[in-house]
Amino acid sequence: MNYNTSLEPIILKEYGRNVQKLVEYLRTFKDVEKRTAQAHTLIELMKQVTPSVRETIETNQKLWDDMYIMAGFDIELDGPYPKPEPELLGKKPGKVPYISNRIKYKHYGRNIELLILEAIKKEDPQEREDAVIYIGKLMKSFYGSWNKEVIDDAVILENMKTISGGKLDIDLERVREENLFERLYKIKRKAPEGRDNRSNNSRNKNKNRKGGSNSHRRS
């Protein structure tokens, strides 16, 4: 009996030993055209072995690359994709550079700063004011998600002026009177346990009373 410990190690375990044996069998074909035709059939089998893989251009190329890897890159095919370089197999991906931009107020996020920069570019006074009001609403919503305490509109406006370098401003009294910085996203507070049941029961009682009085009148 052949035990797995005595066999050649599986190169790509997601396909199993049988697929790897079929790849080795492909190498026995001397005719490149026939070998390529069999390779196409094997690719379809590899798709069935890994059904979670969606059929796209990238995944199809990965299947062909995996076939070359299982063959030890020692196979010639007229496939739809070029043979990958063996050096790329063990190559580590490059490091993703960190964003060096410092966020002034982290609870607002980088996108608020980008919106403020865009608002500064607006030359039309009405468009700039509309942008200030919209950004103020967003800032108040984000602050409310970060801190449950009620924030004064003066703080929102002061933070906006700081981020914009004093280029964005609006009359604070008008903001307060017209509630211009009302939050876009209101926080839903959970009702205490049993409160919904009590309110539903009271509604049902009121309905029963009304229904009883109406039936009494008809009689």
Q: Which residue has the tokens 């029963």?
A: 208
Long-range contacts of 14-19 (CB under 8 A, 24+ apart): 14/49, 14/50, 15/46, 15/49, 15/50, 15/66, 15/70, 16/49, 19/45, 19/46, 19/49, 19/70
Q: Which pLDDT value is given to residue 205?
A: 55
Which residues of the chain fall below pLDDT 50? 187, 189-190, 195, 213-219
The pTM of this model reads 0.44
pLDDT, tens digit, 9 for 90 and up, residues 50-59: 887 777 778 8
Q: Are 44 and 67 in contact (CB under 8 A)?
A: no
* Diameter over CA atoms, the chain: 101
Check residue 13 and report its DSSP letter.
T
DSSP character string of 57-106: HHHHHHHHHHHHHHTTT------SSPPPPGGGTTPPPPPPPPP-PPPS-T
Q: Which pLDDT value is given to residue 149?
A: 78
pLDDT, tens digit, 9 for 90 and up, residues 159-210: 999 999 999 999 999 999 999 998 765 545 445 555 455 555 555 555 555 5
Q: Which pLDDT value is given to residue 99?
A: 60
